[in-house]
C-alpha cells in the first residue's frame, strides 16, 4: 500500500483521508467489491465519504493498475485488486465469484485484425469469460 501512496504523491495526487480509506478497504478485500460496498465499509474510517469520491478514487486506482474493473451481468461493475500484472477474469454467472488468471496468450494478431477491420487504434484490452464456477455447477 505504501508503494501505491508514494506513486500517487509522485504523480501529483494528494493522499487524502477518503482515498486512503478506499485503498484500505481494497487492501483487505478477498474478492471483488461494488463501489457501494466499498463506500459502506470505508465509512468506518471516513464517515463523510461520498459515492462520487469512491468512483473517482477507483478510476484513479484503475489508471495506476492497482485495481481492475469487473463487468457483471445487468451492467453492474465491481472492482478487484490487480494481482497478476496483465490478467483476465473468470466470472461466475450464478454467485458472481471472480477469479483472476494470467493473460499469457498472444492476442496481437487478433488485435491487429480488429484494428484493420474497424480503423480503431486499440491501446489495451481485457478479457472476461463468463460461466459457472465448480461450486455452482454442483448445485445445478
Distance of CA 40 to CAs 28, 34, 56, 57, 122, Å? 14, 10, 16, 15, 36
Tens-place pLDDT, residues 91-133: 888 887 878 777 667 788 888 999 999 999 988 777 778 899 9
Domain that includes residue 136, residue range? 84-140
pTM for this one?
A: 0.68
Higher-pLDDT residue of 39, 90: 39
The pLDDT-based confidence of 78 (bands split at 50, 70, 90) is: confident
CATH number of the structural domain spanning residue 60: 1.10.10.10
CATH number of the structural domain spanning residue 137: 3.30.1490.190
Assess whether 78 and 89 both reside in one domain.
Answer: no
Q: In whole angstroms, what is the distance from residue 66 CA to residue 11 CA?
A: 15
Amino acid at each position: 500500500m505504501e508503494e501505491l501512496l508514494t506513486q500517487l504523491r509522485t504523480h501529483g495526487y494528494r493522499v487524502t483521508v477518503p482515498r486512503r480509506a478506499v485503498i484500505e478497504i481494497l487492501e483487505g478485500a478477498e474478492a471483488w467489491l461494488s463501489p457501494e460496498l466499498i463506500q459502506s465499509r470505508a465509512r468506518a474510517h471516513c464517515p463523510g465519504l461520498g459515492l462520487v469520491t469512491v468512483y473517482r478514487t477507483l478510476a484513479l486506482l484503475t489508471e495506476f493498475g492497482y485495481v481492475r474493473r469487473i463487468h457483471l451481468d445487468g451492467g453492474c461493475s465491481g472492482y478487484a485488486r490487480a494481482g497478476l500484472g496483465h490478467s483476465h477474469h473468470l466470472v461466475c454467472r450464478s454467485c458472481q465469484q471472480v477469479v483472476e488468471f494470467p493473460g499469457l496468450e498472444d492476442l496481437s494478431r487478433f488485435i491487429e485484425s480488429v484494428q484493420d477491420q474497424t480503423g480503431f487504434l486499440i491501446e489495451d484490452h481485457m478479457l472476461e469469460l463468463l460461466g459457472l464456477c465448480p461450486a455452482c455447477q454442483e448445485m445445478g
